[in-house]
């Protein structure tokens, strides 16, 4: 068939010289690169992840090896951060603790995001009865303060790393379900969703192919910040003895050393390093999260 040519259209499009068009994601990434704090956060997080993965390489000591002769050693060249009440190397446990803390944050947030996005999207897209049930469920969940609920459930089901992940995940999905539902509600009125319907797509395809990619931005931001909350709640519960159980080290249960007045006064190397690790991690994640939010929604900043 003959081609219809319009010279002015040709001129107009000459400007775009790139091989591939810039996707909204590429543009967000470019904005993120310019954000110094977010980049620092990202680098720290990547370093923490590498540290967690390479834990056995970094430290020569065995995680759980006790040595009652070397109890409460202060930092020295053999034990960089001293030893604890059972003579275990604090530095080693700190490094291994990174594994536990990061994975608790990641898994619990993944659970929350999975449930929250699914229910939020279904509720928002379908509306009516289903939406009502989901949102009332969300309301019920949000009636209870997170930490009190978490402590109660942890006390009932017993402390373990898996329980902590599940508790934290199941208690934090309502917030994300709300965010997702609100986004879907406004998105489904957009014309391209109507156009997708007019092209014969079914609801499942419309949600997965057209709605989810468009709500990815807030979900990513929430996930990042959610990981921080997950790590904090793990630390809190473990500190209270309701989280990760000894001998598995986590920053939270290492901090529990500070519960003893003697350690608090004499053995700073037992509780200051895990405290600092929690502080640095949360701060980095929050920097990255804020940076992501600014990068993904540039209108917000002005």
Partner 1 sequence: MSDILLKVEGLRTSFKTSDGKVNAVDDISFNVRKGKVLGIVGESGCGKSVTSLSVMRLIPKPNGFIEGGKIIFSDKDLLKISEREMRSLRGNDIAMIFQEPMTALNPVFTIGDQIGEVLELHENLRGEQKTEKCIELLELVGIPRPEKVIKEYPHQLSGGMRQRVMIAMALSCNPKLLIADEPTTALDVTIQAQVLELMNKLTDELETSVMFITHDLGVIAEMANDVIVMYAGKIVEEGDVVSIFKNPQHPYTIGLLESRPDRVDKNQRLTCIPGMVPSPFDMPKGCAFAPRCSKCMDICNEKMPELIEVKPGQKARCWLHSKGGHKE
CB of 128 or CB of 158, closer to partner 1: 128
Single residue of 148, 198, 261, 300 touching partner 1 by CB under 8 A: 198
Distance of closest approach, residue 286 Cβ to partner 1, in angstroms? 26
Single residue of 56, 60, 145, 213 touching partner 1 by CB under 8 A: 213
Distance of closest approach, residue 38 Cβ to partner 1, in angstroms? 22
Distance of closest approach, residue 8 Cβ to partner 1, in angstroms? 8
Site of tokens 């999260």: 289
Task: Compute CA distances 265 → 60, 83, 150, 177, 272, whole Å.
Answer: 28, 15, 30, 45, 11
Q: Does 300 bind partner 1 (CB under 8 A)?
A: no
CB of 126 or CB of 246, closer to partner 1: 126
Q: Does 13 bind partner 1 (CB under 8 A)?
A: yes
Single residue of 57, 156, 199, 261 touching partner 1 by CB under 8 A: 199
Distance of closest approach, residue 133 Cβ to partner 1, in angstroms? 16
Binding mask 119-138 for partner 1 (x = CB under 8 A): --------xx----------
Which span (113-121, 134-142, 206-214, 277-285) binds partner 1, by CB under 8 A?
206-214
Asked if 124 and 181 touch (Cβ cutoff 8 Å), the reply is: yes
Single residue of 88, 175, 210, 293 touching partner 1 by CB under 8 A: 210
Binding site for partner 1 (CB under 8 A): 1, 3-6, 8-10, 12-13, 16, 19-25, 127-128, 190-192, 194-202, 209-210, 213-214, 216
């Amino acid at each position: 068939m003959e081609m219809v040519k319009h010279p002015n259209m040709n001129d107009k499009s000459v400007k775009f010289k790139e091989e591939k068009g810039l996707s909204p994601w590429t543009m967000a990434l470019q904005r993120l690169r310019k954000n110094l704090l977010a980049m620092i956060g990202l680098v720290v997080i990547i370093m923490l992840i590498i540290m967690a993965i390479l834990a056995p390489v970094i430290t020569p000591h065995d995680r759980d090896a006790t040595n009652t002769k070397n109890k409460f050693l202060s930092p020295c060249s053999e034990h960089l951060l001293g030893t604890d009440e059972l003579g275990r190397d604090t530095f080693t446990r700190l490094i291994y603790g990174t594994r536990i803390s990061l994975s608790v944050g990641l898994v619990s947030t993944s659970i929350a995001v999975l449930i929250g996005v699914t229910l939020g999207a279904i509720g928002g897209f379908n509306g009516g009865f289903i939406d009502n049930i989901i949102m009332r469920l969300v309301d019920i969940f949000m009636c209870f303060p997170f930490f009190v609920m978490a402590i109660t459930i942890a006390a009932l089901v017993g402390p373990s790393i898996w329980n902590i992940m599940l508790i934290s995940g199941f208690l934090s999905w309502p917030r994300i379900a709300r965010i997702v539902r609100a986004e879907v509600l406004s998105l489904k009125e957009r014309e391209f969703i109507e156009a997708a319907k007019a092209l014969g797509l079914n609801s499942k395809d419309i949600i997965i192919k057209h709605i989810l990619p468009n709500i990815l931005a807030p979900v990513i931001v929430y996930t990042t910040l959610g990981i921080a909350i997950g790590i904090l709640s793990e630390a809190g519960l473990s500190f209270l003895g309701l989280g990760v159980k000894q001998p598995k080290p986590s920053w939270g249960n290492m901090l529990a050393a500070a519960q003893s007045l003697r350690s608090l006064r004499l053995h700073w190397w037992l509780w200051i390093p895990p405290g600092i690790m929690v502080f640095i991690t949360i701060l980095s994640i929050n920097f990255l999260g804020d940076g992501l939010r600014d990068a993904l929604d540039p209108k917000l900043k002005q």
